[in-house]
Amino acid sequence: MEMRSLGRSDVKITPILMGTWQAGKRMWAGIEDEDSIKTIRAAYEAGITTIDTAEVYGNGHSEQIIAKAVGDVRDKLVYASKVFASHLKYDEVIAACDRSLKNLATDYIDLYQIHWPSGAFNTEDVPIEETMKALNQLKEEGKIRAIGVSNFSRVQLEEASQYGRIDSLQPPYSLFWRKVEQDAVPYCIENDISILAYSSLAQGLLTGKFGKDHKFAEGDHRADNTLFQGDNYQHAQTALQQLQPIAERYNCTLAQLSLAWLIAQPQTNAIAGARHASQATDNAKAAEVELSEADLREIDQIGRQVTDYLDDNPVMWDW
């Protein structure tokens, strides 16, 4: 798989990243550690060498599973983790990073990100200058190689950039969720900031595997996802039917088509989660799908049948 530069850093990432929120188990249903380990390993063997996680994914459990799955090939991988909004004071950032280093069984994290802006989820407001001071210190010590942010608006990204180099933004971004294009994408392009799209398959919706009357198991947070509710869900089903013939032309799945479209967008890379090894292997193959300009435009228009009807709420879940 091709390698891409992460911002202006010397870190090289794959355009498809392995997402491991589900490996933390919390807020997911039916996840088994053994399956998660096999899935992460399969992603690596299929050529995905960049793995994204966070301290809040199962309170470190996701990070620990990554260490079990691919710790023996750590030197061939790029680890990306995140500090949560409740740990953004200087000393808390340092402590959180140390915990993640221990969980991941490594002495450095390639990309360390602020997971949510200060104040999110009713957390205490901490000046971004204080948080960035800690991140810059960790970078100077060699504990992290690059700094990123997640769920930041353009305004928040610009403010953070005043206090240190930001090499990546991790927003929710997919064919069915494109709010970042109107906000932070232009700034990222101007400043060589890589976009690491999460929920790149709209939490599985873009796979086409969910029928019109699908019901999630109790405890599955996707039941609260705006895209799975009411008219939004029906618009998505119509769009998926129109995408199917294009996928067939390229001899690929709807998921692969959607990921291929996403990584063809300016400076954009796609984080794709998976429950099973076969899904991770299939996700990796999306990097081989080269869409024509005409098909990129057609896919764009089909996707807008969903996105044009969404409200202005930047958060995907009704929490």
Residue written as token pair 């206090």: 163
Closest-CA residue to 141 (of 99, 98, 105)? 98
**What positions carry a catalytic annotation?**
57
> What would you measure as the largest C-alpha separation in the chain, in angstroms?
54
